[in-house]
Amino acid sequence: QKSKQQTATTKTTNENLVANDGKLEELMENIKTARGYLVLIEANKDIAVKISKEHKETTTFAATISTKREQAQNLMKKIENAQENFNLAENDEQKNEIVQEVAEKKGEIAGLLKLIRTDMINLQGMLK
C-alpha cells in the first residue's frame, strides 16, 4: 500500500512540475509581450513630446513615463534567467519559489504598465 501511495505522490508531484513549468512559460511569454509594449510606449511618448504645444507639461509626463519604463525593464532583467534557474533547481520547493518570484514581478510590471497607460492618456490629452 505504501508503494501505491508513493507512486500516487510521485505522479502528483510530476503533474505539479509540469503545471509549474507551464505556468512559468506563460508568465515569461506575458513578460515578453510587456517588453514589446514598452518599446511602443517609448516611441509614442517621443512623438507626443515633439508635437506638443505644452512642452513643459509633456516633458514632465514623458520623464515620468520613462522612469516607470526603466523600472519595468529592471524588473524584467531580474527574471531573465528564470527558465534556466527553474531547470537547474534541485527540488520542487526551489522551482515553486522561482515561479512565485516571476509571478510577483509580472504583477509589478503589470502595475507599472497601468500607470504608464494612464500617463500616456494624459499626454495624448494635451495634444488635442
**Residue whose cell numbers read 508568465:** 27
CATH architecture of the domain 2-126 equals Up-down Bundle (1.20)
- Tell me the DSSP string of 36-76: HHHHHHHHHHHHHHHH-S-HHHHHHHHHHHHHHHHHHHHHH
pLDDT tens for each residue of the chain, 128 residues long:
545 554 444 444 444 554 567 888 888 898 989 988 888 888 888 888 888 777 788 888 889 999 999 999 999 999 989 989 999 999 989 999 999 999 999 999 999 999 999 998 888 887 76
Q: What is the CA radius of gyration of the chain?
A: 21
Residues 6+ apart with CB under 8 A from 5: none
Per-domain residue ranges for the chain?
2-126
